[in-house]
Chain A
Amino acid sequence: KNQVEQSPQSLIILEGKNCTLQCNYTVSPFSNLRWYKQDTGRGPVSLTIMTFSENTKSNGRYTATLDADTKQSSLHITASQLSDSASYICVVRSNTNAGKSTFGDGTTLTVKP
């Protein structure tokens, strides 16, 4: 069964600090992995997409990594800001005709001043 597991479930950090969120998946065959940011009460917004051949990709203060062999991804946030407080969701898409996406439960990040 295709699954996406994220850790930690929640995280509290101080403003300015860095943090790393983890995503492990069993989706097969793999097409891509996307990290979304979801502010409370809003729709998810894509931060970055990782395909099979990509190991690292940055989007501003966000850096995603992918290890397709171990089926792990991470999202590193540098110099956190209060506005980074949100749920971060890992979504893995299958490389099939239907291209079904499997969502993780998300990591709730709280950045405190």
Chain B
Amino acid sequence: EPEVTQTPSHQVTQMGQEVILRCVPISNHLYFYWYRQILGQKVEFLVSFYNNEISEKSEIFDDQFSVERPDGSNFTLKIRSTKLEDSAMYFCASSESGGLNTEAFFGQGTRLTVV
């Protein structure tokens, strides 16, 4: 069964360093998303991406964050200068379409630890 894959599964980085989280969405999906979940808290929407541009972003997604689809298969989230509070589980998701009832399929997540 097709699935969203994320790498690495766990990333440890020093405060102030840049980090890139990678995702391979399901191949025929056109809409891509990043979410984060701070330990013990709810899942929070970061950004949605369609047709090579951001379609929506939350207030969390500030200038320190950027997303890119560098080729036909990868979808990346970059954090330019990590802060301690960026430590969280980051989930990538993808969906076939942007329809309101369309299911988004989540990856297994990347646990980011900023020290």
Contacts and interface: CB of A to CB of B under 8 A. Distances in A.
Interface of A: 31-32, 34, 41-46, 49, 51, 89, 93, 95, 98-101, 103-106
Nearest to B107: A43
Assign chain B's interface to a size class.
Answer: 20 to 34
B106 A51 contact: no
A95 B89 CA distance: 28
Given A45-B106, A46-B104, 5 more contacts: A41-B89, A41-B109, A43-B4, A49-B103, A103-B44
B104 to A, nearest CB: 8
Contacts, number: 45
B100 A103 contact: no
Given A104-B42, A105-B42, A43 B106 contact: yes
Contacts of B4: 43
B67 interface: no
A27 B42 CA distance: 16
Interface in B40-93: 41-45, 56, 89, 91, 93
Given A43-B91, A44-B106, A32 B56 contact: no
Contact of B101 (A42, A45, A51): A51
Contacts of B100: 31-32, 93, 95, 99
Nearest to A96: B100
